[in-house]
Amino acid sequence: MKLYHLIFILMATLNANAQKTQPNIARYTKVPAGYLMVLRQGDDILKEIENLAVAENIPSATFTGMGFVNITFGFFDFKTKKYAPKDFKDMELASLNGSIAWQKGKPSIHAHGVVTGKDFMAYGGHILNGSVSTGSVEIMVTVHDKKLERILEQPLGANVLCVGNCME
């Protein structure tokens, strides 16, 4: 066994430990306006926001953020009512804007983002899926005091956040 094999195994072990110990690190803290989240390498962004909504019983919220991500955007086709997806790997998350509401008893996250790579060109849209890449994602969650629902509106075929007297 060569020296570089040993070094490789040692580094892989350190990496694995870093990954393993990540669950023990807090992902958010309470602040006057709501919660400040810091997600870590490998975290599922939408899932972590859903977990926060459930764990802290958040009635509704608006969030902003930024970080370093793998992300899937989808562009909504209003004829087929489906999203055409596209993946972007290892990109700066230049902006994140979204909201937390509820739909049929479950948290409903709506989030838009803009990402940039090595050439600084920007891409973005509706976030279908995203995880933290080699870095972190910081999210400021401003909590509201009213439980708000997202409702699938027809003939629009889109989920719309209801702030009063909506029709289903």
The interface with a copy of itself within residues 83-112 (CB under 8 A) comprises: 84, 86, 88, 92-99, 110-112
Binders of a copy of itself in range 54-73 (CB under 8 A): 60, 62, 64-66, 68, 73
Binders of a copy of itself in range 8-47 (CB under 8 A): 11, 14-15, 18, 21, 24-29, 31-33, 36-38, 40-41
Can you tell me which of 103, 123, 128, 149 binds a copy of itself, judged by CB under 8 A? 123
Instruction: Please state the closest distance from residue 152 (CB atom) to a copy of itself, in A.
Output: 12
Please, which residues have CB within 8 angstroms of residue 89's CB and are 6 or more apart in sequence? 70, 133
Torsion angles phi and psi, residue 32, rounded to 5: -55, -40
| Residues binding a copy of itself: number (CB under 8 A) | 79
Q: Is the CB of residue 63 less than 8 Å from the CB of residue 127?
A: no
Contact status: 134 vs a copy of itself (CB under 8 A): yes
Can you tell me which of 49, 124, 130, 131 binds a copy of itself, judged by CB under 8 A? 124
Q: Is the CB of residue 137 less than 8 Å from the CB of residue 67?
A: yes
Q: Is the CB of residue 71 less than 8 Å from the CB of residue 135?
A: no
Between 46 and 135, name the residue whose CB sits nearer to a copy of itself. 135
Contact status: 49 vs a copy of itself (CB under 8 A): no
Q: Is the CB of residue 154 less than 8 Å from the CB of residue 83?
A: no
How would you classify the pairing of strands 150-153 and 28-31? unpaired
